[in-house]
Amino acid sequence: MTQATMRAVVTTEKGGPEVLQLREVPRPEPGIGQVRVQVATSGVNRADIFQRKGLYPAPKGCPPDIPGLEYSGTVEAVGPDVLGLREGDEVMGLVAGGGYAEYLVVHEREVVRAPEGLDPIRSGAIPEAFLSAFDALVAQMRIQAGEQVLIHAVGSGVGTAGLQLTRWAGARALGTSRTPEKLSRAAGLGLDVGIQGGDRDWVTDVLDATGGRGVDVILDLVGGPYLEGNLRALATRGRIITVGITGGRKEVIDLRALMGKRGSITGTVLRARPLEEKAALAQHFQKVALPGFEDGRLAPVLDESFAPVDAGDAHRRMEANLNFGKLLLVW
């Protein structure tokens, strides 16, 4: 019997965007507790760029040559012992790898139902951005109404999601970006204070905006180069959570400064978590945050969509830091 195939974007070797090529590959079959999703969109993320370059290999059990960490689509087939989903359900979610493909097999407990009334393309701009920001700010940092939250790279997918979740929680949102245009657009999403980042002294602007007090929580998507500034911008008993290292992963830390603030630094990543943790996060998000998309308090931010054959162009746009919000491949 001939095995069914599907289209997928594969990396033919380590390298630049040109190594991303559309190929025919075997279509996966759902196992016990799994569903097969016909993919509508595949989200593009920084991790995909690192994987393409050979700097962030796929975890064991994932296709080593197919990037992609998120999807939206429709349940097309169900495996044995699937109880909560059926064919035709519109869904979205995260995967540890292999997301740049027409079909995905995922465990039903990791799946999030798409918001009612939202088309699959807009739903595709939700999973990685909002689940990452929700996990960091709501589940781990437990931001509270009245707190002040600084979001680095506020124009990124996770940044725009973190901004909306901060306002949704009743906290005050400050954000940095290298690009004044992105700060202006973020203001349209409710950003209270926009600060130009990069090599300039953004810490002084944060302290001025908080009356010298500093911020309660920092959502850091940049990493190493901002660590020293983060400590200076942090309020007493403040919390830093690092979810990205686009600027670098190594930096010297002044432990005395951290101790003096009685602060904390948390690092987090979603990709390598076990099934039980991913399932718990998916269900928590579905229960707490999903209604926000259905009543309009939260909204996915889509920058641009690309055909899968043009995946290299999507990577080029992200590497040039041109996107505001999410980039998607639309199948």
Chunked in runs of 10, what are the mean pLDDT values of the chain (331 residues)? 92 98 98 98 96 94 96 98 97 97 97 94 97 98 98 96 98 96 97 93 97 98 91 98 87 90 95 92 96 96 98 98 96 98
Of the candidates 263, 249, 294, 301, the residue with the CA atom closest to the CA atom of residue 133 = 301
Q: Where are the domains of the chain?
A: 5-126+272-330, 129-267
State the pLDDT at residue 223.
Answer: 86
pLDDT of residue 144: 98
pLDDT for 196? 95
Contacts for 294 with CB less than 8 Å, ≥ 6 apart = 115, 116, 117, 118
For the chain, report the end-to-end CA distance as a whole number of angstroms: 27
Q: At 325, is the secondary structure helix, strand, or coil?
A: coil
CATH 3.40.50.720 for domain 129-267, yes or no, is yes
- How many other CB atoms are found less than 10 A from the CB of residue 272? 10
Q: Is 298 helix (H, G, I), strand (E, B) or coil?
A: coil
pLDDT computed for residue 37 by the predictor:
98
**Orientation of helix 180-187 relative to helix 157-168, angle to 10°:** 30
Could you count the other beta carbons within 10 Å of the beta carbon of residue 315? 23
CA–CA gap between residue 159 and residue 172 (Å, rounded): 14
Contacts within 8 Å (CB) and 24+ apart, 208-211: 209/174, 210/148, 210/174, 210/235
Integer CA distances (angstroms), 266 to 181, 233, 275, in order: 30, 16, 21
* Structural tokens at position 107: 């465990």
Strands in the chain per DSSP E: 5-11, 20-26, 34-44, 70-78, 90-94, 103-107, 112-113, 148-151, 172-177, 193-196, 215-220, 234-242, 264-267, 302-306, 326-330
Which CATH number describes the domain made up of 5-126+272-330?
3.90.180.10
Report the C-alpha gap between 84 and 75 in whole angstroms: 11
* Measured distance CA(288)–CA(50) in Å, rounded: 32
pTM for this predicted structure: 0.94
- Residue 1 has a pLDDT of 66
- How far is 111 from 108, CA to CA, in rounded Å? 5
**How deeply is 146 buried, as exposed, middle or buried, from its count of CB atoms within 10 A (0-12, 13-18, 19+)?**
exposed
